[in-house]
Structure 1
Amino acid sequence: MTVSSAVASFAVVAGMLTIMPGLDTALVLRSAITLGRCRAFATALGILCGVLVWGVAAAVGASAVLTTPHLLYDALRVAGAGYLAWWGIGMLRRTLKERGQPVSGDAAGGAGARTAEATWARSWARGLGTSLLNPKNGVFYMAMLPQFIPSGTPHLQMGVVLAAVHDLEGLVWFSALIFGTQLVRRWLNRSSVQRVIDAITGTVLVGFGVKLALGDG
């Protein structure tokens, strides 16, 4: 297998993984709808940085720690589950709190409640944390990356290249989602719609957290 064929083959696999509906897509869409384009790109960038970290870790063999001693894997799994559940419950609590407030034609009514999270750095950190605290990302890279590293190729450099390909595909996908969302932002910007979106996203996050905590799937 040559380097070019390895990159092309990995791009196909990573591309299919990228467009599959999942937590990353839900987080970026939610940020685009409730926080705007810049914060959505910050969330996406955080996720992509996490992917790059996992790719590098897998390339140097660090993520083997997650597949050998079950104690370490379980610790990361529980931490990720707690993080997702905490974030999801926070969304649900805010949704219930805003439910009794007057409904306006835009998102102004909920602006105060979202001010704390509406910073570029916070959105980036949230995306990064979600990616790094998902042990399934590490298991995926540990299982897949060695298959696409040609014999004699430096593992670290090749791992960075493959992770960068995955990031590039993710950036294209997230950009399409974000710009597509902007086309209907006027309607989505209604505070009543945003409360529904937060309720759905919060429920999804709690569900992912419970599933991860139980080690299911």
Structure 2
Amino acid sequence: MAIFLAFLGVALVVIVTPGPDTAITIRNTLLGGRPAGILTALGVGCGLTIWALATSIGLVALLTASEPLFLAVKYAGAAYLIYLGMQALREAIRPAHIHHAHAPALPHSRLAPIAAFRQGFISDLGNPKIAVFFPSLLPQFVPAGQPSFLSLLLLGVVFALITFTWLTIYATVVAKAGDWLRRPTVRRIVEAVSGILLIGLGIRIAAEQR
């Protein structure tokens, strides 16, 4: 139990640190409301679960051992974040829907549920940090003498569930302030900031060494 509690402590510190998943969840919540934010969080959680399964069966070790494969995942993930960031900047500069600066936000969603899930899922699968992070973190908390496959998978799923819960809280808080945040002027500022952050994160991932 002590080992598991230690894992929870480390996981919480990592999860609450803002990153690409947080930025995408906040932006999608503004575009599609709380449901889109939760679906984005679900996509992230599913991506993490796949990473956990791949770590448990040794596929991640093969990925990190192969420089071409690792670079392909890294650059694909970075390119996707930059693409999302460019979309946000475009929306900030030339919004698809022009409204009066003090008009209330549109009541309907501007982001399809499947798109919200897809963005969270792809952004997480394309994050090479997970490919390095899971194999280095999870084995440290596997109790001696326990089957490594089940233990690694369980720890990875727990990490994914905590991440989903945390991002859902983010989505709920942002949705509560949605009417104000989605006012045209405020929304354009948020789009610009999130676009810059996503592009910056994409560039950083592409430029980072292992």
Question: One fold, TM greater than 0.5?
Answer: yes
Whether the 8 Å contact between 1:54 and 1:138 is mirrored in structure 2 is yes
| Whole-angstrom distance in 1 between the partners of 2:91 and 2:174 | 23
Where do residues 144-183 of structure 1 align in structure 2 (5 Å cutoff)?
Answer: 144-183=137-176
Match of 1:90 in 2: 87
Q: Structure 1 unaligned segments of length 5 or more: list them.
A: none
Following TM superposition, where does structure 1 have runs of at least 4 consecutive aligned residues deviating by more than 4 angstroms?
none
Q: Secondary structure at the match of 1:107?
A: coil
C-alpha displacement of 1:127: 0.2
Q: Does 1:64 align with 2:61?
A: yes
Cα gap change, 1:100 to 1:31, in 2 (>3 Å): closer
Whether the 8 Å contact between 1:65 and 1:73 is mirrored in structure 2 is no
Whether the 8 Å contact between 2:37 and 2:168 is mirrored in structure 1 is no
Whether the 8 Å contact between 2:105 and 2:179 is mirrored in structure 1 is no
Q: Structure 2 unaligned segments of length 5 or more: list them.
A: none
Q: Secondary structure at the match of 1:36?
A: helix
Q: Does 1:134 align with 2:131?
A: no
Match of 1:37 in 2: 34
| Whole-angstrom distance in 2 between the partners of 1:191 and 1:216 | 39
Farther-moved stretch of structure 1 (43-52 vs 25-34): 25-34
Whether the 8 Å contact between 1:63 and 1:138 is mirrored in structure 2 is yes
Match of 1:191 in 2: 184
Q: Does 1:106 align with 2:104?
A: yes
Deviation readout 1:155-198 (Å, 9 max, x if unpaired): 22212211222123223322322222233222112122111111
C-alpha displacement of 1:98: 2.1
| Whole-angstrom distance in 2 between the partners of 1:92 and 1:25 | 17
| Whole-angstrom distance in 2 between the partners of 1:184 and 1:145 | 36
| Whole-angstrom distance in 1 between the partners of 2:137 and 2:128 | 14
Q: Secondary structure at the match of 2:202?
A: helix
Q: Does 1:52 align with 2:49?
A: yes
Q: In structure 2, which of residues 192, 203, 209 is the aligned counterpart of residue 210 of structure 1? A: 203
| Whole-angstrom distance in 2 between the partners of 1:196 and 1:216 | 32
| Whole-angstrom distance in 1 between the partners of 2:140 and 2:129 | 17
Deviation readout 1:72-101 (Å, 9 max, x if unpaired): 211111111111111211221222222994
* Counterpart code for 2:118: A
Number of aligned residue pairs? 209
Match of 1:75 in 2: 72
Q: TM-score if structure 2 supplies the norm length?
A: 0.90
* Counterpart code for 1:144: L
Question: What percent identity do the matched residue pairs reach?
Answer: 30
C-alpha displacement of 1:133: 0.3
